[in-house]
Structure 1
Amino acid sequence: MLASPYESATTDAVPTGTVPVGWGHEPLHLGRGLPMSGFAARTAHSRGSLDPAPEAVALAVGDEVVVALDVIGVDRQLADLVNAEADLPNPVLLTATHTHAGPGILPGRLGEHSEQARKAVAKAAAVAARRALDSRRDCTLEWFDPEIPGLAHDRRKAVVSPDARLRALRWRSGDQVAGYLVSYPCHPTVIGPANLYLSPDYPGYLRLRMQEATGCPVLFLTGCAGDINAGHSVTKSFHLDESGGRTPGDADLFGTTLADNLLAGQWQALDLSGGLTAGRTEVDVTMNPLDTETPAELRQRWEQELRSADEGTRALLRSWIAWAGTPEAGRSTDCRLPVARLGIGEASIVFLPGEPFLAADLALGADPASHTIVGGYYLDTPGYLPDAASYPLGGYEVLDAHRYYGMPAPFAAGSLEALVAAARTLTRAGDER
């Protein structure tokens, strides 16, 4: 690995034990003319890719493999393709960075999708996963969680979020850094809906900065970012106005700022004598309609609003009108959501599905002594998961977002808390082994 003038120090404590760790990455090999997912107001197809371009990044820890894809979301069928293609020893821990400048790859969810892009993404994920497994070597582990004030915002309250924490793990092979896992709870929507070029958004610039400085691979997990973004209102994403910034340059500044804080930090050595533990479970939750109007009444109202709406709002309304015409619209239904946990000595990585609100991170990872990273967008992408206290406030995430997701209704209050309880059960089970 390359030495770096930015290489940060480690505390005097000597890490105990090692774990086998490997890395792999692969470009997503996406062409032009693909539907882009994340902003319903954007209907034009991609014109190419920015630099850095979207990719698949994999981290193997023991026989477990985490793969993070620069796409809006993933699903179980995509994970099955990766498992079969890569011949993995355990089911892949597949996540999305949730970039809103990525390709549409989810059938029936979050807008138009491309089957060609979906296959390319699955192939890249499998290649990266296999490379990670094949490159494993014994490493020690370190932790860092600096305070980063002023970047992440509670988008529902339009204030800076003091609780959004940058967290990272750093592996060492001998006296050299081998690679990183970094997580931050903030929507990758720094680049706005007017953009027509594929990009990882700020996670890609964070990875690039750290790779250039250290020569080491970086896997990024988007944290519990359901109610957190870089400071713009939700309604700004419903329009194609380019006057408010939200450019690739803004994403570059955002990502490199996070990276520079990690590169200059004081890392804490962790004890790995507890070994590796992994657990997976599923949680039954319910989706319940909250609309006071029927889908037919909503559709009629939206059709009237189309007549005077601007271009971006018309695209959004058309997607809602299409939702209202589906047989499932407005029905209560049951859903099973996945939760996973990977224990690495003193460290713990919790994987939650969908778009969990930051409250889940506070419940599971707020204690600095726990050395816990909580990632969202794991294995399934069914929509927003607000904490129960957020439901009386209403808003897009509670009342409207399920339509763009192609889901019949919002998740019932208490769903996020049920996922947090399941994650705690996995943690206790891992600690008892």
Structure 2
Amino acid sequence: MPKLNALMLGKSRVDITPDKDTILGGATISGKIRVDYIKDPLFANTIVVCQADRKLAVITLDLLMITRKYVELIRNELQKRWGFDPDAVMIHATQNHKAPSLGHFKISEDYRGIPEELSWLKGGDERYHPYAVERIITSVEAALNSLEKVRIGYGSGVEGRLAFNRRMVMKDGSISMPNSAGPADKMSRYVEGPMDPDLGVVAFQSETSPIAALLLHYTCHPVHQLGQFFISSDWPGALANEMKRSHGEACVSVVLNGACGNINPWDPYADKPQDDAVVMGNRLAVSVNNVIEAISFMDQAELDWKIVHIDIPLRKVNEVDLAAARRYLADHPNPRWLNDVVLDDKWVYASGMLDLHEQYERNPLYRYEIQVLRIGNAALVGLPGEPFSEGGLAIKLGSSSPYTLIAHNTQFAGYIPTKEAFLRGGYETTTSNWSKFVPDALDQIVTASLNTLKAVFEHS
């Protein structure tokens, strides 16, 4: 293999914290819930990696969601300003439930049944979106302005004590979801599937810093202290903060949250499950630092990337549910306020059902993006939506790369359960805008991801 040019890295951490007046779309289904207070700030954490004339960017956002509209807008702007190939830009929202979203996700942008003054019911706060986009672009500019020569190293660890499969099979065969109250219901029998204990680490070393930047990967919903409406970056932010304490204020950690569709931070068998994001972040940091101690660094790393699209069929809304939704909206053309901040859930669910039906009528196929970035021996796999952990594990087991770091939620696409999960039902399988694909969608995604990894890593 010919000698490559020097590996260069730029990094930045730019504040994207919203105003206290911002509406938290992930707090409830139909509540106009505003921020109570800001516990800790939110950031766009960005690295740009360059070698010769090739460059890629990885941006993680301490946000709930990002929609395709804003992913494409940001990618196009980076192409126009600095010549990035849009396929080489990965944007990942960690699915932090203590933050707003970038774009609408509960109900689609195209649905016209929501009054303009109630646009927040779609999931986003349109006052926040332009600010977030501007700050994200600023983060890339700052990273480009900080390029320096680096060395790269890879490692992985196992941390199985902090995340748990959240689908509990009950005695009658149904599914319940354990929460932070604990312990599991006495009628529970076993958790349905695995968690993913893999802790991925890609470290960058510069002439001025032994650990200049980190790409980190773990798999768990950031949902600590649900029901409390403050701003916080949850465990990904706590982990990044602890890495700064360990390796210096200049260290930037880009945390990739994996296929966590069925993974929560609460031990279903604990009398009092651990529910503190800082505790989780600090415990992860100990494991990360143990991995870093064993890493060997090298000067060069091949850069490559590829995006493929597959057409996944949408589930068709059944006629009974569709008729019921239409009747409800005909009887209640305007939503009913239950109190000062919460609207009638049934109205929102009915609107969502009609929205999903209209999406299906326009096009019964969803154009699903699979993104693979290669940074030397590491593969970053970007998957829209919330795949179940079984999918992430299958990709890792079959990957052509020795180190595979998965980032879910690179665009909003809803839950992507296993086929087996549909047999039992439960929240993640109930047809809605946040669960809309056919039951074999996860299998399709795994197959296409493995083929894309093979194309990127075995082309020579």
Q: What's the TM-score bracket when you normalise by the shorter of the two chains?
A: 0.7 to 0.9
- Give the 5 Å matches for 1:2-151: 19-41=7-29, 43-47=31-35, 49-62=37-50, 63-86=55-78, 87-88=81-82, 89-91=84-86, 92-107=89-104, 109=106, 111-151=122-162
Whole-Å separation in 2 of the counterparts to 1:272 and 1:350: 23
Find the counterpart in structure 1 of residue 365 from structure 2.
334
Whole-Å separation in 2 of the counterparts to 1:42 and 1:191: 19
Displacement, 1:128?
Answer: 0.8
- Give the 5 Å matches for 1:288-327: 288-289=315-316, 293-297=320-324, 316-326=345-355
Per the normalisation by structure 1, the TM-score is: 0.81
1:169 corresponds to 2:176: no
In terms of mean alpha carbon deviation, does 141-150 or 270-279 score higher? Answer: 270-279
Cα pair 1:57 1:68 within 8 Å, conserved:
yes
Instruction: String of CA shifts for 1:338-369, please: whole Å, max 9, x gaps.
Output: 11111122111111111111112211224797
Find the counterpart in structure 1 of residue 407 from structure 2.
375
Aligned Cα root-mean-square deviation (Å): 3.3
CA gap of 1:108–1:388, structure 2 versus 1, over 3 A, is closer
1:347 corresponds to 2:378: yes
Displacement, 1:180?
Answer: 0.5
Whole-Å separation in 1 of the counterparts to 2:384 and 2:244: 28
Cα pair 2:106 2:352 within 8 Å, conserved:
no
In terms of mean alpha carbon deviation, does 168-177 or 148-157 score higher? Answer: 168-177
Select 1:360's aligned residue among 381, 391, 401. Answer: 391
Whole-Å separation in 2 of the counterparts to 1:311 and 1:351: 39
1:196 corresponds to 2:222: no
Whole-Å separation in 1 of the counterparts to 2:425 and 2:29: 22
Cα pair 2:266 2:273 within 8 Å, conserved:
no
Unaligned regions of 5+ residues in structure 1, if any?
A: 1-15, 234-243
Find the counterpart in structure 2 of residue 222 from structure 1.
257
Find the counterpart in structure 2 of residue 286 from structure 1.
313
Select 1:184's aligned residue among 197, 218, 222. Answer: 218
Find the counterpart in structure 2 of residue 4 from structure 1.
none
AA of the residue aligned to 1:279: K
In terms of mean alpha carbon deviation, does 157-166 or 60-69 score higher? Answer: 157-166
CA gap of 1:311–1:289, structure 2 versus 1, over 3 A, is farther
Displacement, 1:422?
Answer: 1.9
Displacement, 1:253?
Answer: 0.9
Cα pair 2:43 2:61 within 8 Å, conserved:
yes
CA gap of 1:288–1:324, structure 2 versus 1, over 3 A, is closer
AA of the residue aligned to 2:141: R
CA gap of 1:117–1:394, structure 2 versus 1, over 3 A, is same
Whole-Å separation in 1 of the counterparts to 2:73 and 2:245: 32
CA gap of 1:209–1:346, structure 2 versus 1, over 3 A, is same
Displacement, 1:314?
Answer: 7.2
Displacement, 1:49?
Answer: 4.8
CA gap of 1:311–1:231, structure 2 versus 1, over 3 A, is farther
Displacement, 1:291?
Answer: 5.1
CA gap of 1:119–1:314, structure 2 versus 1, over 3 A, is closer
Find the counterpart in structure 2 of residue 11 from structure 1.
none
In terms of mean alpha carbon deviation, does 27-36 or 260-269 score higher? Answer: 260-269
CA gap of 1:134–1:49, structure 2 versus 1, over 3 A, is farther
Instruction: String of CA shifts for 1:32-72, please: whole Å, max 9, x gaps.
Output: 11111223257243335534311111111221111111111
Select 1:395's aligned residue among 411, 416, 426. Answer: 426
Displacement, 1:210?
Answer: 1.0
In terms of mean alpha carbon deviation, does 293-302 or 330-339 score higher? Answer: 293-302
Whole-Å separation in 2 of the counterparts to 1:107 and 1:69: 16
Find the counterpart in structure 2 of residue 430 from structure 1.
456
Instruction: String of CA shifts for 1:274-303, please: whole Å, max 9, x gaps.
Output: 611111111111111375832233677999
Find the counterpart in structure 1 of residue 444 from structure 2.
418
